[in-house]
């Protein structure tokens, strides 16, 4: 962020952005509170999807259609990304990076037990069994902050019921007690009951889970591509040598193959005190150089087609091809359903990891939340 802001200030010496970074979890609470008060930030980072939709519907954001048109951004961002910037028929969002959720694994551990990246559900279970026999946890999930558990729910639902059903569930049109959702929890529970998960998932966070994979305490973790930034920049690991990735395996044949992840970007508050400076900053963020700084520093994928993919390491280049080849791109759970429902769902996934045998009661409680939230 410092590097991006420094680059902007160099190009616009009369404008000096003031930044106010904060903890990821605190940020989710603080931003809505700031928007409801008199101290709105001019621009702020946010996640495309239901969270942006929620604050657009509350009247907190300024549309930036003129900025999109004036900078020909429809020629910069592909339709799938541009769709994530459009709410109620208007543009509100400038994408700066996006992520892909996949299994990231310890390559040396896989080589040691002679395991190949699985492509089917049965393959995944067979590989997990091999690791168990070797005394190593196949999967590690750091769900202390709840949200990392959503990726298991998301992919299991996408790979069994498909993207169309999931979209209806996210919109409140399907029930959490449906057979499709029950099946997801049963498949997930099957892996837990078999002893394939590193114990006490709710006791640690995603980075600690990632480190457990790096140290060889567990073989793999289901996480977004920001893990690559952590591995390269924080732990000094080499892609395709120390760690690698594979896509979530096929479970049911004939289901469209969806990719999953968030789109990160910036928006402008309706009450921005410096709207012209804010527009200049947002237009700058759509340029290739800040997108490269952001994505390489964070371990993200570039949303701009003006960014040359060959500048990224071979692993990220493979990820980009996987995303392009996917039949659909879905936002992860807490960006696909309205924030109140997202809270109820994240609580359910955390509760499930603590008490998997109680999954039917957990689903019933989540369904009660759905009925109340979507009634409102």
Quote the CA–CA distance of 53 and 336 in Å, as a whole number: 10
> From residue 248, how far is each of 114, 324, 366 by CA, in Å?
19, 15, 25
Q: What is the mean pLDDT of residues 40-63?
A: 95
Neighbours of 247 (CB within 10 A): 22
The SS3 assignment for 217 reads coil
344 pLDDT above the threshold of 90: yes
Q: Confirm if 252 and 61 have CB atoms less than 8 A apart.
A: no
**Which CATH entry fits the domain spanning 101-259+333-375: 3.40.190.10, 3.50.50.60, 3.40.50.880, 3.20.20.70?**
3.40.190.10
Does 51 score more than 90 pLDDT?
yes
Per-residue DSSP letter, 15: -
Q: Tens digits of per-residue pLDDT, 89-129?
A: 999 999 999 999 999 999 999 999 999 999 999 999 999 99
| Lowest mean pLDDT across 202-206, 217-221, 327-331 | 327-331
Angle, helix 121-133 to helix 179-193, in steps of 10 degrees? 20
pLDDT at 79 over 90: no
CATH among 3.40.710.10, 3.40.50.150, 3.40.190.10, 3.40.640.10 for 2-98+261-306: 3.40.190.10
pLDDT at residue 324 in the model: 87
242: pLDDT strictly greater than 90: yes
Same fold, 2-98+261-306 and 101-259+333-375: yes
C-alpha 198 chain-centroid distance: 22
Q: Residue 169 — φ and ψ, nearest 5°?
A: -65, -45
- The chain-wide mean pLDDT, for the chain, equals 96
* pLDDT-based confidence at residue 365 (cuts at 50, 70, 90): very high
pLDDT at 376 over 80: no
Q: Take residue 75 and report the two structure tokens written for it.
A: 């020629």
User: Looking at residue 80, what is its pLDDT?
Assistant: 84
User: Is the confidence at residue 283, as pLDDT, over 70?
Assistant: yes
Q: What is the pLDDT of residues 296-323, one digit of tens each?
A: 998 999 999 999 999 999 999 999 999 9
Is pLDDT of 184 > 80?
yes
* Cβ-proximal residues to 123 (8 Å cutoff; 6+ apart), any chain: 249
pLDDT tops 90 at residue 28: no
Per-domain residue ranges for the chain?
2-98+261-306, 101-259+333-375
Averaged pLDDT, 258-283: 96
Contact 331, 50 (CB under 8 A): yes
Q: What is the mean pLDDT of residues 7-28?
A: 92
Are 269 and 60 contacting, i.e. CB atoms less than 8 angstroms apart?
yes
Which residue is listed with tokens 């999930």? 141
Q: How far apart, in whole angstroms, are the C-alpha atoms of residue 201 and residue 74?
A: 42
Whether residue 39 is predicted with pLDDT greater than 90 in this model: the reply is no
**b/e map 298-336, b = 16+ CB within 10 Å:** bbbbbbbeebeeeebeebbebbbeebeebebbbbbbbbb
Q: How far apart are CA 209 and CA 204, in angstroms?
A: 7
Candidates 11, 360, 357, 36; CA nearest to 193 is 357
Q: How far apart are CA 91 and CA 69, in angstroms?
A: 10
Buried b (16+ CB within 10 A) or exposed e, 200-227: ebbebbbeebbbbbbeeebbbbbbbbbb
Q: What is the pLDDT of residue 162?
A: 97
Q: What is the pLDDT of residue 24?
A: 84
Alpha carbon 353 to its chain's center: 19
């Amino acid at each position: 962020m410092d590097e991006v802001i420094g680059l902007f200030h160099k190009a616009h010496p009369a404008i000096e952005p003031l930044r106010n970074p904060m903890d990821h979890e605190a940020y989710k609470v603080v931003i809505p509170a700031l928007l409801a008060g008199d101290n709105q930030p001019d621009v702020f980072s946010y996640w495309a999807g239901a969270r942006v939709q929620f604050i657009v519907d509350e009247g907190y954001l300024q549309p930036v259609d003129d900025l999109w048109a004036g900078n020909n951004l429809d020629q910069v961002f592909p339709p799938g990304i541009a769709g994530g910037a459009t709410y109620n028929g208007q543009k509100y969002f400038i994408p700066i990076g996006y992520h892909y959720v996949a299994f990231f694994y310890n390559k040396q551990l896989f080589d040691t037990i002679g395991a190949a990246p699985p492509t089917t559900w049965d393959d995944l279970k067979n590989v997990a069994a091999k690791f168990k026999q070797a005394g190593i946890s196949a999967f590690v999930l750091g769900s202390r902050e709840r949200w990392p558990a959503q990726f298991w729910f998301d992919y299991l639902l996408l790979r069994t019921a498909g993207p169309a059903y999931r979209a209806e569930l996210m919109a409140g049109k399907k029930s959490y007690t449906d057979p499709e959702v029950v099946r997801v929890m049963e498949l997930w529970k099957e892996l837990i009951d078999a002893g394939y998960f590193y114990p006490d998932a709710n006791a640690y966070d995603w980075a600690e889970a990632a480190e457990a994979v790096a140290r060889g305490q567990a073989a793999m973790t289901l996480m977004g591509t920001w893990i690559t930034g952590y591995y390269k920049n924080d732990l000094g690991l080499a892609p395709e040598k120390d760690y690698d990735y594979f896509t979530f395996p096929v479970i049911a044949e004939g289901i469209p193959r969806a990719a999953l992840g968030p789109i990160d970007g910036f928006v402008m508050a309706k009450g921005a005190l410096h709207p012209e400076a804010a527009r200049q900053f947002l237009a700058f963020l759509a340029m290739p150089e800040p997108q490269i700084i952001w994505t390489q520093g964070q371990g993200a994928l570039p949303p701009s087609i003006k960014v040359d993919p060959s500048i990224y390491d071979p692993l990220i280049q493979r990820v980009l091809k996987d995303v392009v080849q996917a039949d659909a791109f879905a936002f992860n759970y807490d960006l696909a359903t309205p924030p109140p429902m997202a809270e109820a769902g994240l609580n359910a996934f955390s509760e499930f990891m603590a008490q998997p045998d109680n999954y039917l009661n957990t689903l019933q409680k989540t369904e009660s939340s759905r009925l109340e939230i979507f009634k409102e």
